[in-house]
């Protein structure tokens, strides 16, 4: 009898212990992670990198990107992430402000044009600066400066003579003066970069000054021939210490040094690192030539990946890896040279999507989006929720505990629950825009509010090879992305009610001046 009771007690005890262990394991697996107080934040922003270029998104990609693949395996890979635009400047503006670019402008900033930031516009850098962060921007800026502040008066060059002047000259500006309206005016403590690698002035910028004044004019490409794409060079002033092949290595080294300098700093940092690559001119350095088997573009992507590895390595070496949120994405899809690469190498930079840079199709704005944050973001995880780069403003505000005012980040949604492994979508709608063409995504449906979604010149041979139908006569295109991610079946005629409903939703978002959940109930916000 006693033996039976003892066995029963032992069994009960063991069962209770088992349930305790299983409960603990379950809790560890599914508990809501605690958010570290004000982590370091790094945004790595590639230029003209396609959705299908990385192996972690396209297993058939021949381009070796071990550092970005490792970033994906150590964190979260988003498969339905979008930029605001299919071109450069608008996407960067939207990312840094949490506001659809088209509420303010549509196109890129050209050489010697002013800043796109309205006076008083809160940026991501400004928000983090106010929260005690050391903020730095490096690499490509392409958001304008107040060039008129350093422009020399030239009474002899007025009227028709001034109008006929085709390019800025060496004597038009006082290159020694600080240039307002750049990164330091929107919340960055430090800037180092080249502004735009294929736009004059060709020189190095540090903070709000040019490091060495231009003393010559670059009128044509004078370096090694570009064998993939074009040089994309705009004529204009150039400094003697500037060489395009040095841009990527130099800004990477500057970022490495910045990270190492933060090793013992008590102040958290925010680094916005904007790559000039693999944007044209496609100029991989000699040590990377032949590394991809996909020509210079693939080699340039390999060099970009190498830079990512250097920056992440510096983070680890400084002992800052565990308390740093790292985000990687691209401003838009690959340039139209991708058509030639697809024909020559059988690699489609937008795979499995339709469209490229400038296009309103998915390939123009659906992009790689990787997030790593040890202890918060589940490693080797995939999120299929619809997200936008615009959402990073509200997300980082949530991360650092900042309260956004009503006139800031008007279109930004908080992605932090997704970062933590949540599965409930945070947005179901997104507006895509390039120049004057719009598309609106709602749920699985996307309406291209135009005859077609091409803005860049399409290669008809590519369409034939990939099984796209001949152009139809419908005034708009409607796709169900869940069933047709390649956007081959225009369903506008089959679902005539959908385009009108989506147009109505687009008009509402445009007119009310906001789409952020925290602003629900606000009747309208003027642009």
Q: How far apart are CA 43 and CA 401, in angstroms?
A: 19
pLDDT for 166 beyond 80: no
Among 323, 479, 365, 429, CA closest to 95: 365
Question: pTM for this one?
Answer: 0.92
Mean pLDDT across the chain: 92
**Which pLDDT tens digit goes with each residue over 223-264?**
988 888 888 889 999 999 999 999 999 999 999 999 999 999
**Which pLDDT tens digit goes with each residue over 64-79?**
999 999 999 999 999 9
392-400 vs 88-97: helix crossing angle, rounded to 10: 30
Q: Quick one: pLDDT at residue 421?
A: 97
Q: Quick one: pLDDT at residue 2?
A: 52
Among 195, 223, 187, CA closest to 211: 195
Q: Quick one: pLDDT at residue 65?
A: 97
Return phi, psi of residue 104, to 5°: -120, -35
Q: How far apart are CA 391 and CA 411, in angstroms?
A: 7
Residue 433: how many CB atoms within 10 A of its CB?
24
**β-bridge partners, 40:** 324
User: In angstroms, what CA-CA distances link 491 with 46, 316, 448, 479?
Assistant: 34, 50, 11, 6
Contact 106, 96 (CB under 8 A): no
Q: Average pLDDT of 169-186?
A: 97
Contact 499, 478 (CB under 8 A): yes
Concatenated DSSP letters of 317-363: HTT-GGGEEEEEEESS---TTHHHHHHHHS--TTTTSS--TT-SSHH
| Contacts of 28 by beta carbon, 8 Å cutoff, 6+ apart | none
**Which pLDDT tens digit goes with each residue over 37-66?**
799 999 999 999 999 999 999 999 999 999
Pairing of strands 134-140, 269-274: parallel
Q: How far apart are CA 477 and CA 23, in angstroms?
A: 51
Indicate the CATH number for domain 40-152+164-418.
3.40.720.10
pLDDT for 215 beyond 90: yes
Rounded-to-5 percentages of helix, strand, coil across the chain: 35, 15, 50
pLDDT for 312 beyond 80: yes
Q: Quick one: pLDDT at residue 161?
A: 44
Q: How far apart are CA 502 and CA 442, in angstroms?
A: 8
**β-bridge partners, 187:** none
């Amino acid at each position: 009898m006693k033996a039976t009771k003892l066995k029963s007690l032992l069994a009960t005890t063991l069962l209770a212990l088992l349930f305790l262990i299983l409960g603990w394991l379950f809790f560890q697996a599914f508990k809501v992670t605690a958010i570290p107080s004000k982590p370091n934040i790094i945004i790595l922003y590639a230029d003209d990198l396609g959705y299908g270029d990385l192996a972690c998104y396209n297993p058939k990609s021949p381009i070796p990107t071990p550092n970005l693949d490792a970033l994906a395996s150590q964190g979260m890979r988003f498969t339905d992430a979008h930029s605001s635009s299919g071109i450069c400047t608008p996407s960067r503006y939207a990312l840094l402000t949490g506001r659809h670019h088209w509420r303010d402008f549509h196109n890129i900033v050209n050489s010697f044009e002013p800043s796109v930031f309205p006076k008083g516009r809160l940026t991501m850098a400004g928000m983090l600066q106010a929260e005690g962060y050391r903020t730095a921007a490096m690499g490509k800026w392409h958001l304008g400066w107040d060039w008129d502040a350093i422009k020399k008066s030239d009474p002899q060059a007025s009227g028709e003579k001034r109008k006929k002047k085709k390019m800025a000259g060496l004597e038009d500006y006082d290159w020694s003066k600080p240039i307002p309206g750049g990164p330091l005016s929107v919340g960055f403590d430090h800037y180092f970069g080249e502004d735009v690698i294929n736009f004059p002035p060709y020189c190095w910028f540090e903070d709000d000054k040019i490091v060495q004044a231009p003393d010559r004019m670059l009128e044509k490409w004078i370096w090694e021939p570009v064998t993939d794409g074009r040089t994309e060079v705009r004529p204009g002033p150039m400094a003697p210490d500037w060489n395009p092949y040095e841009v990527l290595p130099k800004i990477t080294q500057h970022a490495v040094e910045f990270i190492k300098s933060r090793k013992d700093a008590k102040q958290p940092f925010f680094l916005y690192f904007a790559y000039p690559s693999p944007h044209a001119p496609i100029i991989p350095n000699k040590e990377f030539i032949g590394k991809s088997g996909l020509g210079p573009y693939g080699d340039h992507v390999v060099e970009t990946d190498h830079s990512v590895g250097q920056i992440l390595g510096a983070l680890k070496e400084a002992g800052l890896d565990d308390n740093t949120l790292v985000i990687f994405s691209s401003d838009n899809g690959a340039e139209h040279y991708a058509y030639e690469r697809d024909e020559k190498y059988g690699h489609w930079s937008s795979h499995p999507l339709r469209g490229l840079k400038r296009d309103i199709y998915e390939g123009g704005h659906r992009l790689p989006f990787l997030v790593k944050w040890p202890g918060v973001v589940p490693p080797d995880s995939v999120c299929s929720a619809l997200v936008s780069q615009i959402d990073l403003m509200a997300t980082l505000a949530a991360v650092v505990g900042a309260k956004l005012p009503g006139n800031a980040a008007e279109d930004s949604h908080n992605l932090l629950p997704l970062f933590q492994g949540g599965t409930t979508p945070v947005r179901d709608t997104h507006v895509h825009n390039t120049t004057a063409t719009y598309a609106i995504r709602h749920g699985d449906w996307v309406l291209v509010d135009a005859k077609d979604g091409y803005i860049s010149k399409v290669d008809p041979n590519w369409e034939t090879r990939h099984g796209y139908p001949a152009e139809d006569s419908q005034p708009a295109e409607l796709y169900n992305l869940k069933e047709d991610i390649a956007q081959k079946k225009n369903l506008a005629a089959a679902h005539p009610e959908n385009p009108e409903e989506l147009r109505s939703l687009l008009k509402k978002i445009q007119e009310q001046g906001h789409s952020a959940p925290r602003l629900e109930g606000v009747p309208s916000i003027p642009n």
